[in-house]
Amino acid sequence: MINFFDLITYGIILGGIYAICAIGMILIFKATDIISIVQGELMAVGAYCLYSFAVVLKWPLGLSILMAIAAVIILCLFIERFALRPLIGAPLWNSIMATVALMITIQAVIRVTWGPEHFSVPPYMSRTPFTISGIRLTYEESTIFVVCLIYVLLLFLFFKYTKIGKAMRAVQLDKEAAALMGISVKKVFSLVWIMNGILMGTIGVLMAPILGVYPTMGFIMIKGFIVAVIGGFASFGGAILAGLLLGVLETLSGVYISTAMKDIVSFAVLILVLLIKPTGLIPEIVTKRV
Amino acid sequence: MSLIKPWQVCSILIFLLMLTPLWADSYFVYIFSLALVISIAAVGLDILMGYAGQICFGQAGFMALGAYTTAYLVNHGLSFWLSLPIGGILSGLAGLMIGLPALRIKGHYLALATMSFAYIIYLILLHWEGVTGGPRGMPALRPEWPISFTEDTRFFFIILGIAIAMVALARNIVASKYGRAFMSLQKDEIVSKSMGINLLKYKTLAFMISSFYAGIAGGLYGPLIGFLDPQSFSVIESAYFLLIVLLGGRGTIFGAILGAFIFVSIPELVRRAEHFQEVIYGLIFLAILIYMPSGIMGIFSKYKSLFTKRLGNGKLLKPLISMPMSRSEPVGLSDTLSPIQEKQLFSSAEGSDRTFLQVMNVTMRFGGLVALNDLSFKIEEGEVFSLIGPNGAGKTTALNVITRLYEPKNGEVIFRGENFIGVKSDRIIERGISRTFQNVGLFEGLTALENVMVGLHSFGQSGFFQTVVKSRTARQGEAWKRWRALEMLRWVNIDDVAFHVATDLPYGKQKLIGIARALVSEPRLLILDEPAAGLSHHEGEFLMELIRRLCDENGCSILLVEHDMDIVMGVSDRILVLNFGKKIAEGRPEQIRNDPLVVEAYLGEEEIEGDASD
C-alpha cells in the first residue's frame, strides 16, 4: 500500500514542475502578450542535453547541468531572434501560432536526433527520505520546491525593483508607447526569453532523473498552461498554488480512481474553471503589486 | 470582368479530379482521397478561423469523434450512409457544447479550451478500450451498398462526391448573410451588434459548422484507412489543421483545399526519415507565419476573383422581387411590404401614437466618473435632434445608452411605447433604430456593397438550412438585399464604388457607406455620430443636403451628434447641449445660439476658433 504522505509529496514535486512551467508562460505573457506553446519542448531539450552530457559523454554532473541550461538559453535566443522578433507588430495570433510551429519542429528534431527511446538519468542525490516534523521528504522533492520558491522570489523582486522589469510591464501594456518612451522592445523580448530559457532549462534538468527522458515529455506544457489559467494567468504566487493543487489532485486521482483518470481530472478542473471563473481561481494578490 | 469564370475553373478541376483513377495508380488515388478528406475538415475550420475569426485547437478531436462514432455504428450493423451523418451531427453537437461556454472567453483561453477538449477525446480513445479498442485501434469498414466500395478507386468517388457537396455548401454559407455576419464579427464586434448580429449565436454556429465538417471528414477517414487509432487524432494533428488553413490562406475556401493537398503531398516528397517530415512541416509553418502571413492565396489575391466567389464580384443579379424604389420615390413607400416593414410592424404594432423616443433620468457611471447625469430628453417623430457639447460631455455615451451598448445605472429609454431596458443591443435595429459610428467602423475586407448588406442582416425570412442549400426564398432574399443595398449606395451617390473594398476608399466615401449601411434598414430613428468629422467642406454640404432629404422624404427622425456648428445649426429642429454629462440647454437653434450658458461652456470656444481661422 502506498503511503498517503508519499503521494502528497510526489504531488508536490509534480506541482512544482507544473508551476515553473506556468511561471515561464506567465513571464512571457506578461512582457510580450504571447502565449508560448513551445515551453514543454524547451524543457525536453534541457532534459535531453543533460542526458547526452551527463550519461552519454560522462561529463561531470555540475558542468552537465550548467551546459544543459545554457543550451536551452541559446535555443531560446534563437527562437526569439529568428521566429518571434520578425513577428513583432504582426497580429498576436501569428506569434502564438509561431510557437506552435516551433513546438512541432523541436519535437520532430528531438525524435530525429535521439530516436523514440525512453532514457533514464540517475538521480542527483540520495532518495532516502528525511523527516521534518512528521512529514517525510526527500532531497529531490525539497530541491524542486526550494528552486521554485527562489525563482518566484527573484522574479518578484525583478519586476518590482529593477528598471528593466518595469520596462517589461510597460511593453506589455503598450508596445508602441513603450517604444516612444525609449524602451527597447527588442531588448525586452530577448531578456524575457533568456529568463524563460533559465526557467525551462532548470525544470528540464530537474525533471530528467524523476520522470525520465522521452520524446513526448514536452506535453507537460499543457499542464503548465492549465496551471497558469487556474492561477489567473498573471500572478506567480497564483501559479504556485494552482500548480501544487493540480499536482496533488492528479497524483491522488491517479492512485485512488484510475491512472487513466489522472489526466482527465486536470482537464476537467480546467474546463470547470473556464466555465465558472475564466479569470482564474486564485485572486490576483500578487498581480496588484507586481 | 475576368475572362475565366470561377465556375469554369471549378468544373475543370472537378473533371480532372474525377479522371484521377484513369491515369493514376491506386496509391496515388489513395493519396488524393486522403487529401480530399483532410480538405473537408480544413474547409470547416476555415469557416471558423478565416471567416468568424475564432481559433480552434481541437479539429482533430472533432474529427476523431465523427470517425469513431461512424465506425462504431457501422461495426454494430448500421448502414454507413446513416452512420456518417450521425457522426457528423454528433461532432457538431460536441462543437456546440464546447463552443457555447468557450466562446464567452477569448483568444488564448479559447485555444486552450479547445486543445483540452481534443486532448480529453484522445485520452478517452486511448483508455476506453471496451468501445474504442484503446491503443490497438478499431476497424472501420467501407460501405457495401449499393455496390461494394472496397476498392480504393471506387471509394474515391464517394469521397470526391461528398467533398464537392461539402465545399459547395461551405461556399453557399460564406456567400450568404451568414458569411457576412462571420466576417463582420471578426472585424468589429461592437458594430456587428448594432447591425443586429447576435455574437454568441453566430460564433457558436461557426463552431458547429466547423466541427460538423470535421465529423464528416472523420467518418470518411476511417473507412479510407480501414482502421482507426488514437494516434491519428493527437493534439499535434489539431495543430496541423491550423497549419493547413494558414498555408492556403485564411478566409478562402479554395485556400483550405490547396493547403490540404500540399500538406498531404509533403510526406510523399520526403519519404526518407520517419520524423523528418514533421521537421519540414514545422519549418514551413514557421516560414509561412513570418513571410507569408496571408498564405498562398494571399499571393494570388490579385487574381482572387478567379478563384473565390465573393459577393458582388460577379454579375449583378436582377431583382427577383419587385419593390419600387428610386431616387424620385421615397425610400420604403410601396404597396407590398418589404421584409423590413413586416418586422418593424411586428415588433411595435401598438406603439405608433405614443412618444417617439423618450430618454428619462438616465445616469451612467464609469467607475467614479459620471458620464451622464440624470439626462432626460424627448425626440418627436420626423425631427432632427442634435446633441452638442465639448469633448467628453457624454454625447457618444448617450447614443450608446440608447442603442443598448451601455447599461445605464438608472433611468429609462422608451422608444415608441417600448421600454428599451431589457432589449438586447442586437435587437435594436429591428425596432427601427440604426446608427453610424464616430470611427465609421466599416468591416475591413468587405466591399462597400457587402458592408451595406450587413445593415440588412436582421431582415429576410430564409433560415440557415434554406441558405445553405440556396433555396428559392434564400436566393430571392439575397437578391433583394443586394439590390436594395445598391439602391442605397446610389441614394448617397457612391454606387460607382459598390464593388470596391470599403476600407480602401477615401474617408469621405467611407462615411457615406457608413450612412448607407445605417439607412438601408429603413430606420425610424437614424443616429449619426459625428458624421461630418474629417470631411471636406464640400462633402459636409452634401451631407447636410442628405440629412434634410432624409427627413423630408422618409419622415425618418435623426439624432445627430456633431461638432460642425454650420451643419448643426443648419439642419437641426432642436438642439440639446451637454456639459459634463448634464443638460445645460435645450431648444431651437436660434435659442441655443444666444444662450449665455451655452456660449460660455461650448459655443464661445467655437467662435474664438472661428475668428482665428477667418
What pLDDT digit, counting tens, does each position of B409-446 carry?
888 888 888 888 888 888 888 888 889 988 888 888 88
pLDDT of the residue at B370: 83
Q: Which residues of A touch B48 (CB under 8 A)?
A: none
3-state secondary structure of B366: strand
The DSSP line for B166-192 is HHHHHHHHHTSHHHHHHHHHHH-HHHH
Mutate to test the interface with A, among B244, B290, B291, B292 (most CBs of A within 10 A): B290
Same domain? B400 vs B462: no
Cβ(A243)–Cβ(A18) below 8 Å: yes
Residue at B167: amino acid letter = V
Q: CA of A37: how far to CAs of A25, A97, A103, A108, A171, in Å?
A: 8, 8, 7, 15, 21
Same domain? B469 vs B544: no
Does the pLDDT value for residue B314 go beyond 50?
A: no
Asked whether residue B155 is assigned to any structural domain, the reply reads yes
Q: Which of A93, A108, A271 sits opposite B113 (nearest CB)?
A: A271
pLDDT of the residue at B605: 55
For A80, phi and psi rounded to 5 degrees? -65, -45
Asked whether residue B279 is assigned to any structural domain, the reply reads no
* CA–CA separation, A272 and A26 (whole Å): 21
Same domain? B185 vs B92: yes
- Of the pLDDT bands very low, low, confident and very high (cuts 50, 70, 90), residue B317 is very low
B328 vs B532: which has the higher pLDDT:
B532
Q: Do you know the residue count of chain A?
A: 290
Does the pLDDT value for residue A284 go beyond 50?
A: no
pLDDT of the residue at B107: 65
* CA–CA separation, A147 and B484 (whole Å): 68
Q: Is B270 touching A (CB cutoff 8 A)?
A: no
pLDDT digits (tens, 9 = 90+) for A70-96: 999 999 999 998 888 888 777 777 788
Cβ(B144)–Cβ(B17) below 8 Å: no
Same domain? B52 vs B97: yes
Same domain? B154 vs B206: yes
CB pair distance less than 8 Å for B282 and A104: yes
Q: Which residues of A touch B289 (CB under 8 A)?
A: 87, 90, 94, 97-98, 101
Q: Cell numbers of A132, please?
A: 521534518
For B471, phi and psi rounded to 5 degrees? -70, 170
Q: Which of B108, B127, B290 sits opposite A96 (nearest CB)?
A: B108
Q: Is B139 touching A (CB cutoff 8 A)?
A: no
CB pair distance less than 8 Å for B236 and A263: no
Asked whether residue B371 is assigned to any structural domain, the reply reads yes
Question: Which range among B73-82, B498-507, B595-604 shows the weakest confidence by mean pLDDT?
Answer: B595-604
Does the pLDDT value for residue B168 go beyond 80?
A: yes
Same domain? B36 vs B111: yes
Q: Is A35 touching B (CB cutoff 8 A)?
A: yes
* CA–CA separation, B453 and B484 (whole Å): 8
Best CA proximity match to B117, nearest among B136, B135, B134, B97: B97
C-alpha radius of gyration, chain B, whole number: 28
- Of the pLDDT bands very low, low, confident and very high (cuts 50, 70, 90), residue A2 is low
Residue A201, C-beta contacts closer than 8 angstroms, at least 6 positions apart: A42, A43, A46, A68, A69, A70, A71, A72, A73
- Of the pLDDT bands very low, low, confident and very high (cuts 50, 70, 90), residue A63 is very high
Q: Which residues of A touch B290 (CB under 8 A)?
A: 83, 86-87, 98
Asked whether residue B55 is assigned to any structural domain, the reply reads yes
pLDDT digits (tens, 9 = 90+) for B218-265: 999 999 988 899 988 988 889 889 888 888 888 888 889 999 998 888
* CA–CA separation, A38 and A28 (whole Å): 11
Q: Cell numbers of B560, please?
A: 445627430
- Residue A103: burial class (beta carbons within 10 Å; 0-12, 13-18, 19+): buried
Q: How far is B462 from chain A (nearest CA, A)?
A: 34
Q: How far is A91 from chain B (nearest CA, A)?
A: 9
For B147, phi and psi rounded to 5 degrees? -125, 170
* CA–CA separation, A237 and A234 (whole Å): 9
pLDDT digits (tens, 9 = 90+) for B401-411: 888 888 888 88
Best CA proximity match to A199, nearest among A35, A49, A19, A58: A19
Percent of chain B residues past pLDDT 90, beyond the cut: 15
C-alpha radius of gyration, chain A, whole number: 19
Residue at B80: amino acid letter = F
Mean pLDDT of chain A: 82
Q: Which of A142-146, B176-180, B595-599 has the highest mean pLDDT?
A: B176-180
Order of strands across the sheet that contains B525-529: B433-435, B525-529, B557-561, B384-388, B574-579, B582-587
* CA–CA separation, A202 and A225 (whole Å): 18
Asked whether residue B20 is assigned to any structural domain, the reply reads no
- Of the pLDDT bands very low, low, confident and very high (cuts 50, 70, 90), residue A157 is confident
pLDDT digits (tens, 9 = 90+) for B571-609: 888 999 988 888 888 889 888 888 888 888 777 654 544
The 8-class DSSP code of residue B364 comes to E
Q: Which residues of B touch A111 (CB under 8 A)?
A: 274-275, 278
Strand locations in B146-271 (E): 227-228
Average pLDDT of the residues in B340-357: 57
Q: What is the largest CA-CA distance in chain A?
A: 63
Minimal Cα distance from B285: which residue of A? A101
Same domain? B506 vs B539: no
* CA–CA separation, B492 and B509 (whole Å): 9
Cβ(B357)–Cβ(B378) below 8 Å: yes
pLDDT of the residue at A201: 93
* Cis amide leading into B146 (omega within 30): yes
**What pTM was computed for the model?**
0.84
Residue B274, C-beta contacts closer than 8 angstroms, at least 6 positions apart: A111
Q: Do you know the residue count of chain B?
A: 614
* CA–CA separation, A18 and B370 (whole Å): 45
Mean pLDDT of chain B: 81
pLDDT of the residue at B271: 62
Q: Cell numbers of A240, please?
A: 504556485
Residue at A242: amino acid letter = A
Q: Cell numbers of B540, please?
A: 459636409
- Count how many domains chain B has: 3
Asked whether residue B314 is assigned to any structural domain, the reply reads no
**Full set of structural domains in chain A with CATH:** 4-276 (1.10.3470)
Same domain? B410 vs B518: no
Average pLDDT of the residues in B330-359: 55
CB-side neighbour CA atoms (13 Å) of A136 = 10
* CA–CA separation, A77 and A81 (whole Å): 6
Q: Is B135 touching A (CB cutoff 8 A)?
A: no
CB pair distance less than 8 Å for A105 and B282: yes
Query: Which of B497, B522, B547 is the last residue in one of the domains?
Result: B522
Residue at B503: amino acid letter = T
Q: Which of A173-187, B64-78, B88-102, B466-480 has the highest mean pLDDT?
A: B64-78
Same domain? B510 vs B553: no
Cβ(A141)–Cβ(A9) below 8 Å: yes
3-state helix, strand, coil in chain B (%, to 5): 60, 10, 30
Q: Cell numbers of B11, please?
A: 468544373
Average pLDDT of the residues in A102-121: 88
What count of other Cβ atoms lies within 10 Å of the Cβ of residue B456? 28
Q: Is A92 touching B (CB cutoff 8 A)?
A: yes
Beta-strand relationship, B410-415 and B418-419 = antiparallel
Percent of chain B residues past pLDDT 70, beyond the cut: 86
- Residue B256: burial class (beta carbons within 10 Å; 0-12, 13-18, 19+): buried
Same domain? B88 vs B211: yes
pLDDT of the residue at A71: 95
pLDDT of the residue at B236: 84
* CA–CA separation, B70 and B37 (whole Å): 15
CB pair distance less than 8 Å for B107 and A274: no
Q: What is the CATH number of the domain that holds B413?
A: 3.40.50.300
Asked whether residue B86 is assigned to any structural domain, the reply reads yes
Query: Which of B499, B522, B545 is the last residue in one of the domains?
Result: B522
Cβ(B562)–Cβ(B535) below 8 Å: no
Q: Cell numbers of B156, please?
A: 474515391
* CA–CA separation, A121 and A105 (whole Å): 25
The DSSP line for chain A is ---HHHHHHHHHHHHHHHHHHHHHHHHHHHHH----TTHHHHHHHHHHHHIIIIIIS---HHHHHHHHHHHHHHHHHHIIIIIIGGGTTS-HHHHHHHHHHHHHHHHHHHHHHH-S--B----SS----EEETTEEE-HHHHHHHHHHHHHHHHHHHHHHH-HHHHHHHHHHH-HHHHHHTT--HHHHHHHHHHHHHHHHHHHHHHHHHHH-B-GGGGGHHHHHHHHHHHTTSS-HHHHHHHHHHHHHHHHHHHHHT-HHHHHHHHHHHHHHHHHH-TT-SS--HHHHH-
pLDDT of the residue at B4: 63
pLDDT of the residue at B109: 74
Same domain? B91 vs B165: yes
CB pair distance less than 8 Å for A278 and B104: yes
3-state secondary structure of B375: strand
Cβ(B496)–Cβ(B489) below 8 Å: no
Q: Which residues of B touch A100 (CB under 8 A)?
A: 239, 242, 285
Best CA proximity match to B41, nearest among B161, B217, B167: B217
ipTM, two decimals? 0.78
Does the pLDDT value for residue A266 go beyond 90?
A: no
pLDDT of the residue at B319: 38
CB pair distance less than 8 Å for A97 and B104: no
- Of the pLDDT bands very low, low, confident and very high (cuts 50, 70, 90), residue B332 is very low
CB-side neighbour CA atoms (13 Å) of A191 = 20
Does the pLDDT value for residue B280 go beyond 50?
A: yes
Does the pLDDT value for residue B400 go beyond 80?
A: yes
Average pLDDT of the residues in A155-169: 80
The 8-class DSSP code of residue B319 comes to P
Residue B358, C-beta contacts closer than 8 angstroms, at least 6 positions apart: B377, B378, B379, B412, B413, B414, B415
A47 vs A146: which has the higher pLDDT:
A47
Same domain? B401 vs B467: no
CB pair distance less than 8 Å for A107 and B124: no
Question: Which range among A70-74, B177-181, B460-464, B597-601 shows the weakest confidence by mean pLDDT?
Answer: B460-464
Structural domain for B504, as ranges? 446-522
Does the pLDDT value for residue B353 go beyond 90?
A: no
Best CA proximity match to A79, nearest among A198, A205, A189: A189
Query: Which of B203, B218, B237 is the last residue in one of the domains?
Result: B237
CB pair distance less than 8 Å for B289 and A96: no
Cβ(B320)–Cβ(B336) below 8 Å: no
